[in-house]
Amino acid sequence: MIFRKICASIVLLVFSLTAHAAIDGKLLQALAGDDPDARITAVNTIAALGNEEAVEVLTALKNEQLFARDVAVYLVDGEQAKDLGTGKMQKLPDDAEAITINNRLRAALDSALSGLRLFSPDKNVRLVAATALEKEATPEQLPLLNKAYLKENDSEIKSRLQMLIATANLQASDPVVRKAAVKALLDSPNPNLKPVLQKMLAQNPDGSYNEADASIRLEAANTLNAIDGRLARMEFVGNLFYGVSLGSVLLLAALGLAITFGLMGIINMAHGELLMIGAYTTYVCQMLFRKFMPDAVDAYLLLALPAAFLVSAAVGILLERTVIRWLYGRPLETLLCTWGISLILMQAVRSIFGAQNVEVANPSWMSGGITVLGSLVLSYNRIIIIFFALFVVLAVWLILNKTRLGLFVRAVTQNRRMADCVGVATGKIDMLTFGLGSGIAGLGGVALSQLGNVGPDLGQNYIVDSFMVVVLGGVGQLAGTVIAAFGLGEVNKFLEPVAGAVMAKIVILVFIIIFIQRRPQGLFALKGRSVE
Amino acid sequence: MTSYMMSGVLRPGQQYEGATGDQGVSYGRIKQEGVDTTHGAILYLEDIVVSFDGFKAINNLNLDISVGELRCIIGPNGAGKTTMMDVITGKTRPTSGTAFFGQTMDLTRMSEVDIAHAGIGRKFQRPTVFEQHSVFENLELAMKMDKRVKTTLFARLNSEQKDKIAAILQLIRLDGQEQRQAGLLSHGQKQWLEIGMLLIQEPQLILLDEPVAGMSDAETARTAELLNELRGKHSIMVVEHDMGFVTEIAQQGKVTVLHEGSVLADGTMAQVQADERVIEVYLGR
Amino acid sequence: MSATTTFAMAKGLFSKPAWTGILVCAVIAVLLPILNLSFPVGHALHISSYTIALVGKFMCYALAALALDLVWGYTGILSLGHGVFFALGAYAHGMYLMRAIGRDGVYQSNLPDFMVFLDWKTYPWYWAMTDSFWYCMALVILVPGVLAFIFGFFAFRSRIKGVYFSIITQAMTFAFMLLFFRNNTGFGGNNGFTDFKRILGFTITAPGTKAALYLITLLILLSALFLCRWIVTSKLGRVLQAVRDSESRLMFIGYNPLWFKLFVWTLSAILCGIAGALYVPQVGIINPSEMSPANSIEMVIWAAVGGRGTLLGPIIGAFTVNGLKSWFTAAFPDLWLYALGLLFILVTLFMQQGVLGLVSKFKKQREPA
Amino acid sequence: ADTIKVGILHSLSGTMAISETSLKDVALMTIDEINAKGGVMGKKLEAVIVDPASNWPLFAEKARQLVSQDKVSVVFGCWTSVSRKSVLPVFKELNSLLFYPVQYEGEELEKNVFYTGAAPNQQAIPATEYLMSKEGGGAKRFVLLGTDYVYPRTTNKILRAFLHSKGVKDTDIDEVYTPFGHSDYQTIVANIKKFAAGGKTAVISTINGDSNVPFYKELGNAGLKATDVPVVAFSVGEEELRGVDTKPLVGHLAAWNYFQSVKNPVNTEFIKKWKDYAVAKKLPNAATVVTNDPMEATYVGIYMWKQAVEKAKSTDTDKVIATMGGQTFKAPSGFELTMDKTNHHLHKPVMIGEIKADGQFSVVYKTKTPIRAQPWSPFIPGNEGKQKL
Amino acid sequence: MLEVKQLHQHYGSSHTLRGISLSLKKGECMALLGRNGVGKTSLLKCLMGVLPVTEGTVSFEGRDINKLSPHDRARAGIAYVPQGREIFARLTVEENLLMGMASLPARKAGKIKDEVYQLFPVLKEMLHRRGGDLSGGQQQQLAIARALLAEPRLIILDEPTEGIQPSIIKDIGRVIRLLRERGDIGILLCEQYFDFARELADHFVVLSRGEVVAYGGQELMDGDDVKRHLAV
Ligand SMILES: Nc1ncnc2c1ncn2[C@@H]1O[C@H](COP(=O)(O)OP(=O)(O)OP(=O)(O)O)[C@@H](O)[C@H]1O
Ligand SMILES: Nc1ncnc2c1ncn2[C@@H]1O[C@H](COP(=O)(O)OP(=O)(O)OP(=O)(O)O)[C@@H](O)[C@H]1O
Ligand SMILES: [Mg+2]
Ligand SMILES: [Mg+2]
């Protein structure tokens, strides 16, 4: 989205510039050539032109829209191609070859374009450009940065530019400038500064310091401390967030199971496959949008949510009516039976969609993230999923505790025969409950499709975790499930940096085992006679 | 391999969790003779409080039962009678207070198993038998004997034991039905079976929670007869709401009325029946 | 005990048709390797080594299923982690087999290849003495046994029951799997142990060795069956079933369920470990995926398909499920999961007592006629 | 018999089906193609397919079944190292042939196996060299990120030794492992970011299978672009990218010996054949099938075996092994590949590709000639004596 | 209103009920007597539809209800107090009471009538306690209350006085009498507590080994015939 904005504003930029000069053909050929160094030089030379054409050509190169044939270079835009030498529009010759770029060139292009964009009339473009430059503000860019700083009137961008200038000034030869730079950076959130500052503080083998001026060293140490402190805080907040995020994923994966297993007592080994069905439904919705409404493709999730709920619920209801209804009161048989179902569902997906993963793309409004505390990126998809999980929990809680249906569901799961005798159509309730649990699993599948792969094995990866969460929370305890999910998420995320991912997982499992020793009925154990 | 296991699992006379230190309820031995009843009482409950999330089901309860006594306990629904039995058998831990079996055994610190070993047997309010086992096996399991893993593994019934089971079967009128699965018995039959299991276990102190609930009047009379026979041989505590039955078995003995977790009144049946408070909260007019 | 009483006792273990069945199966099972060894390839009576290997492997599975049935079928403890005992037994034996490779490995070192590769100069302490076959055999019993004892002691003491127990066993096997996956744990990472050369000096691929391993497996399987049967028909067996149905009632008549549960649980783990130990040399590989939760669930499924709480059932189940799996994966490689899945569903719906239940149902129907 | 049986031993179910299914299909396509051209020595090939279901002991059982029951002359199969290790004893015992088409960690050389995938020096080391080059971004610090199993461990061990030899210090190397099926890469991506603050950093990923998607998604959302921290992967090819939204991944790299995007007539034909085959056999998602390195390696392997059989005039294992060495084949990668005379590995070109938005790779580097495999890496102590193999 | 004809029931191969016939009119109370294990509970379960009958018919208000499931019978106006209470252990007392109205349409099922609390004051005190935590007698009261809330036209009570303190037994007796006097409800009372039954019942039926061995009006209840069949 941001990208599109930039493009739009570049068009604006083009109109605002007055000078118009064609780019030297030699430069263009160098761009198309084989010599990487020459290409970089060409990029920088073109950028130095600072005109509309330069932006156009460099952007096109970055988007791989440039083609070359002999000495001619074409800019392809849709059906048409513009011969950059002559400026004529024409059809792209068949034997023209795309000019490819690699990371090095891409980086050069980025930095060149950012430099150019610092002068864009659009505030956002300038902001993005300033942020992009943060990574490598070098003394060479100083003139450019100073120029931009003087022209800038937006305070946020201005302060950012100031930081950039200070960063570039760290390597200045004048100690006064350096000192000012170090001081200015006291509030910088940029972790990339650390090595530079560390280098200033480092002692050479001969006892001399890289930074000769002791007072600057003092300031540098100060700044370094400030940055370290900020980083530590950021790491803590980061872990907290990661934990909540992991917890929400666990919760979504487990919530359906909390109903089918927790309430109904079905050891539902096919739960994972219901998640998978939800994820595949998302995929199908995306494909439908791509095919029929390519412009609105970002909205596919809005269709996917109800669709996944319905499809999974329908599959669940089908299973319940045909198979599971015969197994109430025989929980262990449900294990065997649903295991069989899970095998069949997995293979069915393999037959229909292939054994490979399918691609589910985040809608653009879910890609990227917000940056907080300087450089901690909280990605949108995770934030949205956290809120989604909370929303689903709330909905389930309301249904189970505030409606007559919920009361019936709980009654039937506790004493099926008596519920029947007081006039509850148990068959219908069973069907609806299992459908609800399956549908919720489908919703979980939609969320999972936004984070991980969508493939026939998707469910298998979550089934063990889901059972752990439900059991840890206490079977049949919705609140327990929620707390267990978030608890496990947090514990995991605070352990992982210390112990590594593998040991963290092992420790978590051991923790679960020990925890159950302490609380044999899970986190939210029911006490008293009613349990027997 | 098996013998290795066995010696690993069970050392004879092994102390185990919950057993109190020196008075030593040694595991696996039925220490019936070990109950120290020198002061004439077999069970003391002192200041027992049981509270469930703030609700005091038992509130400063004091009670003792002497050796060989048959004590009837009555009281309104929810007075805490069953909870008191839970405390005595170790199922529920009191919030405070002490419960002694004999002079030395602190019931509040013993496990259910130890308490059973020490010689307290119980019939539950709702009949609980091993539903998947036959009537015969139910009795076999309950029969007084060494109940450790190893001995159980090699246990074979001798003819004396078989006779004992047969006798009990006759007593509870389930002879001829000994091969039936206990779960298939009717409610009243299960009550009888449970009583049979209790008898064959030969405990010193018998706790009966509503033994005649769901029994026909004739059966009730028989049960009363049975209890009168047992009088003196065991110490017995009976909880019942059937006044006719209570009158029959209490005879001139003491009847205790519980109300809201503590003793409301005690005395002979005639005395309590005449007590205004008892009529008010329990008997009704 | 005199011979006759022993015999009488043995006779009492099973019903007459069951005895006949067991004997017939045992005789056939003994004949297989004999036919394999004594008739040349191509002869009508020749049984292929492949079949022998397959049946050998299935017998190990059957032993594991039998062990599981002892705790699940009779005591009502559903373990979703028996794979870990199986694998530990297998690893214990595997350690010996790795040592027995000697310097014939890829790096021609005294150490197993994976240790050379990790730059380990000596064996870590827990590999001490593993060059002794008998020490490893002791480990086969001790490691699963002790683990089960400790785990069971705490779990049963805390009165963990039902799914809570099942799930922590699953957590246990999962944790072990991850642990064994780590290269640094010292058990060959995810590759585990493989490429064994010899056992007690005999070449492991020699037909004679294979036949011997096969027969030993058969013998152990039968003995385990008799042992388990003897246990469940004893009074202890009835106590176990009482544990399953009403544990608290049992305590009030003076049995401590802790020790009873712990006894079968540990015994079951040991049997499962032995199954694993027999499995390694016959299959030729042991790696941590044996500890994956799915594998343990499969064991439960063998028992369920055959009919739980019957001892013979799980054995039949292990053979049926694995036999079908072997056949299906070759005959319909694309569709076999449908067939297997359907089988599980049908078994639950129409054969509540598993395959064995079906047999007795037929018998009952024929009887009155 | 008038047919020659060949076994195909790839998982069609379980966790590895995601990668191996298409290898089975390519093998069948190749066999069809050979049969259409008259078979081998005038006999038609008959494929025997089994499904070892991603279960390693089952691999051994199925291998034994193929060789001893079905009497196949050769087996094409396996993907993971452990599956190969599991079947090895069987092939040795029964003296039969296995063609293994996947890049692997080396440290193995068996008479009965021909390795048509890459050894570490044909993939990992050139890729790392590229990352250190000016063109590759001049990386100074490295995150070695892998799934916790033998291939990543070995590769990283080799790479660490290699990096040491290039003067990279241990403080500039971060080795991180995740469990199988790991799907939460938040912490790891955050750590990479932190590590990258210390200087130009590249990630060398040996993450296996399914875990790649969550990793790449996290990477994209955390805003780590290829221009900042390039990731080079050794297990991610066109097939894996089918399941990922590649737009945020543009510029990340993979090293292989073949890419679908390589332009040459052999490859054009290979791709066309495969696409036609997929449509004709109604494979799921036939419209979007792609080729990748292990598929090419399978294709090459089957043809080389055919040539060797024809040269030996027999399918006898020992005779075929004898004639295999020195076989050449014009492969879709555009090079003429040679089976080494001694070490059972192919000489292969090394290519490095950057991910494009359409899920294909643009080749940014390739070797001029095929490189000889070093199954015994010289970077592992103890292998010094084996370099001639 | 309730007609049972030639009802047979089997548990597997054991024949529990052997051709039972009885009929109950509106506004009447019938006592079902018999020793332990003669099949009283089984009969009531057959009437409620919990147990399948092997032969015979059950009709309610002229309608053959043999094929109806228990919940349909409940909706037709039959309420059941089972032996063993069958409380929803993990629902609160309040929810248990609400469940009593499950057979009623939602709009009528919102509020618990105060009469119930007058009859069983403990229930009001324990409204938010879980049903399973109650004492045995309290549970029994809850079970009766639950059945009354369904506004039934036929109420089936299986040993309702079991485990209940004498004063409340009297209260229950009063309620039953009240219901009977209202005249629009049929009551089928299975009781071991003979005196209690005798006071309330208009008719009685004595079962023995699954067969009706004696029946008649209240005046005959003290007869020897009955005594003989109830004696051991
Ligand atoms: N776990 C629990 N949580 C809350 N309240 C409880 C719990 N267990 C018992 N109670 C309450 O404690 C009180 C005493 O119960 P108890 O079962 O001991 O009564 P009782 O005297 O046996 O009554 P009854 O004659 O009806 O059997 C009751 O009010 C009951 O509701
Ligand atoms: N599920 C069952 N399977 C087989 N037989 C059963 C089953 N339930 C009860 N029976 C048998 O049916 C007979 C009648 O049982 P029922 O419960 O109806 O007796 P009851 O008259 O209600 O006795 P009680 O007064 O003791 O409650 C008894 O002999 C009992 O053993
Ligand atoms: Mg009570
Ligand atoms: Mg009854």
pLDDT class for D59, splitting at 50, 70, 90? Answer: very high
Q: Please choose from E128, E134, E142 the residue to mutate so as to test ligand 1's pocket, defined by most ligand atoms within 8 A of CB.
A: E134
**Ligand 2 midpoint to CA B129 (Å):** 15
Mapping DSSP to helix (H, G, I), strand (E, B) and coil, where does residue E142 land? helix
The whole-angstrom distance between B274's CA and the closest CA on chain C is 37
CA distance B43 to B73: 14
Residues D158-181: pLDDT tens digits? 999 999 999 999 999 999 998 888
Residues B43-88: pLDDT tens digits? 999 999 999 888 899 999 999 898 889 999 999 988 999 999 999 9
Residue A7 is predicted with a pLDDT of 45
Distance (Å) of CA B44 to CA A167, B51, B64, B104, B208: 83, 20, 4, 10, 17
Give me the total of CB pairs closer than 8 Å, taking one residue from chain C and one from chain D. Answer: 103
- Give E90's contacts in chain A (Cβ within 8 Å): 410, 414, 476, 526, 530
Domain ranges (residues) in chain E: 2-77+152-230, 86-150
Residue E162 is predicted with a pLDDT of 85
Q: What is this structure's pTM?
A: 0.90
Residue that is written with structure tokens 């250190």 in the block: D132
CA distance A278 to A297: 18
Tallying the residues shown for chain C, one arrives at 369
**A214-257 vs A426-449: helix crossing angle, rounded to 10:** 150
Residue B30 is predicted with a pLDDT of 36
The mean per-residue pLDDT over the stretch A297-305 comes to: 92
Helices (H), A63-154: 103-117, 123-133, 142-151
Q: Do A358 and D243 touch (CB under 8 A)?
A: yes
Mapping DSSP to helix (H, G, I), strand (E, B) and coil, where does residue E110 land? coil
Domain ranges (residues) in chain B: 125-202
Give Cα E84 to chain centroid, integer Å.
12
Q: Strand B41-52 to strand B55-66: parallel, antiparallel, or no bridges (unpaired)?
A: antiparallel
Residue that is written with structure tokens 């990605």 in the block: A379
Comparing A129-143, C11-25, C27-41, D61-75, the range with the smallest average pLDDT is A129-143
Indicate the helix (H) or strand (E) that contains A26.
helix A25-32
Interface list for D 96-125 with C (CB within 8 A):
107-109
Residue A300 is predicted with a pLDDT of 93
Sequence letter at residue B54? G
Residue E122 is predicted with a pLDDT of 86
| Span between the terminal Cα atoms of chain C, in Å | 42
pLDDT class for A532, splitting at 50, 70, 90? Answer: low
The mean per-residue pLDDT over the stretch B15-29 comes to: 37
Residues B249-281: pLDDT tens digits? 988 889 999 999 999 998 999 999 999 999 988
pLDDT class for B10, splitting at 50, 70, 90? Answer: very low
Residue C3 is predicted with a pLDDT of 58
Q: Is C6 exposed, middle or buried (0-12, 13-18, 19+ CB in 10 A)?
A: exposed
Residue B14 is predicted with a pLDDT of 37
CA-nearest of A202, A247, D188, C259 to B17 is C259
More confident residue, C368 or C66: C66
**Ligand 2 midpoint to CA B135 (Å):** 14
pLDDT of B232 higher than 90: no
pLDDT of D372 higher than 90: yes
Residue D332 is predicted with a pLDDT of 96
Give the CATH fold of the A235-518 domain.
Answer: ABC transporter involved in vitamin B12 uptake, BtuC (1.10.3470)
> ipTM, 2 decimals?
0.89
Sign of the dihedral through C-alpha C15, C17, C18, C19: positive
Query: What are the backbone dihedrals phi and psi of residue D376, each rounded to the nearest 5 degrees, phi first?
Result: -100, 100
Residues E164-211: pLDDT tens digits? 888 888 888 888 888 888 888 999 999 888 888 888 899 899 998 888
pLDDT class for C4, splitting at 50, 70, 90? Answer: low
pLDDT class for D7, splitting at 50, 70, 90? Answer: very high
The mean per-residue pLDDT over the stretch B87-97 comes to: 91
Q: Do E90 and A404 touch (CB under 8 A)?
A: no
Residue A234 is predicted with a pLDDT of 86
Average pLDDT, chain C: 89
Residue B34 is predicted with a pLDDT of 62
Superfamily of domain E2-77+152-230: P-loop containing nucleotide triphosphate hydrolases (3.40.50.300)
Interface list for C 268-297 with B (CB within 8 A):
270
pLDDT of C169 higher than 90: yes
Residue A169 is predicted with a pLDDT of 80
More confident residue, A58 or C263: C263
Residue A343 is predicted with a pLDDT of 94
Count how many Cα atoms sit within 13 Å of the Cα of residue B186 in the half-sphere of its side chain.
20
Residue E13 is predicted with a pLDDT of 81
The mean per-residue pLDDT over the stretch C257-274 comes to: 95
Residues C310-367: pLDDT tens digits? 899 999 999 999 999 999 999 998 889 999 999 999 988 888 777 777 777 776 666 5
Residue C7 is predicted with a pLDDT of 64
CA-nearest of E128, E157, E152, E151 to E141 is E157
Identify the closest residue of chain E to A418 by CA–CA distance. Answer: E86
Average pLDDT, chain A: 85
Residue that is written with structure tokens 């005038």 in the block: D42
Residues B127-175: pLDDT tens digits? 889 998 999 999 999 988 888 888 888 888 888 899 999 999 988 888 8
A24 secondary structure, DSSP code: P
pLDDT of A393 higher than 50: yes
pLDDT of B12 higher than 50: no
pLDDT of A351 higher than 70: yes
The mean per-residue pLDDT over the stretch A89-112 comes to: 83
pLDDT of C102 higher than 90: no
Residue C364 is predicted with a pLDDT of 65
Comparing A8-22, A398-412, A434-448, E156-170, the range with the smallest average pLDDT is A8-22
* Least CB–CB distance from A423: residue in E75, E86, E91: E75
CA-nearest of C81, C61, C57 to C314 is C61
CA distance A99 to A62: 10
Read off the tokens for B156: 């074979």
Read off the tokens for D17: 């089906």
Comparing A159-163, A461-465, C10-14, D148-152, the range with the smallest average pLDDT is C10-14
Residue A4 is predicted with a pLDDT of 44
Domain ranges (residues) in chain A: 21-104, 119-212, 235-518
Q: Return the percent helix, strand and coil in chain A, to nearest 5.
A: 70, 5, 20
Q: Cα A69–A72–A77 angle (5° rounding)? A: 85
pLDDT class for B19, splitting at 50, 70, 90? Answer: very low
Residue D74 is predicted with a pLDDT of 96
Interface list for E 30-89 with B (CB within 8 A):
34-38, 41, 83-84
Contacts of A112 (CB under 8 A, 6+ apart): A43, A44, A46, A47, A58
The mean per-residue pLDDT over the stretch D66-93 comes to: 93
The mean per-residue pLDDT over the stretch A35-52 comes to: 82
Sign of the dihedral through C-alpha D193, D194, D196, D202: negative
Q: Cα C333–C335–C340 angle (5° rounding)? A: 100
Residues A451-476: pLDDT tens digits? 888 999 899 889 999 999 999 998 88
Contacts of D40 (CB under 8 A, 6+ apart): D4, D34, D306, D309, D310
pLDDT class for B33, splitting at 50, 70, 90? Answer: low
Q: Do E41 and B188 touch (CB under 8 A)?
A: no
pLDDT of B11 higher than 50: no
- Give the residues surrounding ligand 2 with Cβ less than 6 Å away: B 184-189, 214; E 11, 14, 16, 34, 36-42, 83
The mean per-residue pLDDT over the stretch D294-316 comes to: 95
pLDDT class for B2, splitting at 50, 70, 90? Answer: very low
Residue D9 is predicted with a pLDDT of 96
The whole-angstrom distance between C252's CA and the closest CA on chain A is 15
Q: Please choose from E90, E138, E140, E167 the residue to mutate so as to test ligand 1's pocket, defined by most ligand atoms within 8 A of CB.
A: E138
Distance (Å) of CA D299 to CA D22, D67, D267, E143: 12, 21, 12, 75
